[in-house]
Chains A and B, each alone.
Chain A
Amino acid sequence: MSRVGPTLTALATGLILAMLALILGHVTVHGWSVVTWGFLSGGAEEGLFTVGRSGIFPMLFGTAARVILMTLLVIPAGVITAVYLNEYAPASGRLTRWVRGAVNHLAGVPSIVFGLFGLGFFIGFVGAGLDDWLRPGAVQPYWAGEGLLWASATLAVMTLPVVVVATEEALRAVPAGLREASLALGATRLQTIIRIVLPHSLSGILTGSILAIGRAAGEVVPLLFTGAALYVSRLPGSLNDKFMDLAYHVWVLCTQSPDIDQTKPLLYGTVLVLLGLTLSLNLVAVVIRARISRNPQATP
Chain B
Amino acid sequence: MSDADSVTTPPSPPPAKPPWHDLARGRVARPGEWLVEKGIFAVSLTAIVMILLIFVFVGREALPILLGQADSAAARVQRILPPEDVDRMTPSELRAALGLSRRKFAARSLEEQKAALKEIYAVRAEADRNGAEAIPDKDSEVNTVGWRYLILPHQWTGYSRPEFIWQPVSQIQKFNVVPLLVGSLKVTLVAVLFALPLALGAALYVSQFASRRLRAWIKPAIEMLAGVPSVVLGFFALFVLAAALESVFAFQSRLNAFVAGIALGVAIIPVIFALAEEALSAVPRGYVEGALAVGASRWQAAWGVALPAAWPGVFAAVVLGFGRALGETMIVLMASGNAAILSWSLFDSSRTVTATIAAELGEVVFGGHHYRVLFLLGTLVLAVSFVANLVADGVMNRLRRRLASSS
Question: Is A–B contact present in the complex under a CB 8 A cutoff?
Answer: yes
Interface residues on chain B, size class: 35 or more
Taking each of B206, B298, B385, which has the highest tally of chain A beta carbons within 10 Å of its own beta carbon?
B385
Name the residue of chain A whose CB is nearest to the CB of B47.
A102
Q: Are B299 and A1 in contact (CB under 8 A)?
A: yes
Contacts of A114 in B (CB 8 A): 54
**Dominant secondary structure of chain B at its interface with chain A:** helix
Q: A68 interface residue, CB < 8 Å from B?
A: no
A244 to chain B, nearest CB (A): 14
Q: Which residues of B contact A279 (CB under 8 A)?
A: 224, 227-228
Q: Which single member of B230, B266, B381 contacts A113 (CB below 8 Å)?
A: B381
Contact: B389 with A105, CB < 8 Å?
yes
Contact A105 B51 (CB under 8 A): yes
Chain A: how many interface residues by the 8 Å CB criterion? 94
Distance of B104 from chain A, by nearest CB (Å): 7
Within 8 A of A (CB), among B82-114: 102-104, 106-107
Within 8 A of B (CB), among A121-163: 121, 124-125, 128, 131-132, 136-139, 141, 144, 157, 160-161
Chain A residues within 8 Å of B320, by CB:
108
A2 beta carbon closer than 8 Å to chain B: yes
- Closest-CB distance, B57 to chain A (whole angstroms): 4
Within the complex, what minimum Cβ distance (angstroms) separates A23 from chain B?
6
Q: How far is the CB of B391 from chain A (nearest CB, A)?
A: 11
Decide if A224 touches B362 in the complex (CB within 8 Å): yes
- Is A106 an interface position by the 8 A CB rule? yes
Decide if A15 touches B323 in the complex (CB within 8 Å).
no
Known: A77-B43, A84-B43, A121-B53. Contact between A10 and B205, CB under 8 A? yes
**Residue among A5, A80, A250, A271 having the largest count of chain B Cβ atoms under 10 Å:** A5
Chain B, residue nearest A160 (CB): B47
A106–B46 Cα gap in the complex (Å)? Answer: 11
Q: Report whether B199 and A16 are in contact in the complex, using a CB–CB cutoff of 8 Å.
A: yes
User: Given the interface contacts A84-B40, A108-B389, A113-B327, does A121 sit within 8 Å of B103 by beta carbon?
Assistant: no
- Please name all residues of chain B whose beta carbon is closer than 8 Å to the beta carbon of A117 when the two chains form the complex: 53-54, 57-58
Question: Is residue A247 within 8 Å, beta carbon to beta carbon, of the partner chain?
Answer: yes
Given the interface pairs A1-B299, A12-B202, A190-B37, the reply to whether A286 lies near B361 with Cβ below 8 Å is no
14 contacting pairs across A/B (C-beta < 8 A): A3-B299, A6-B205, A10-B209, A19-B266, A27-B232, A84-B43, A103-B47, A105-B386, A116-B374, A132-B102, A137-B106, A218-B228, A220-B330, A267-B239
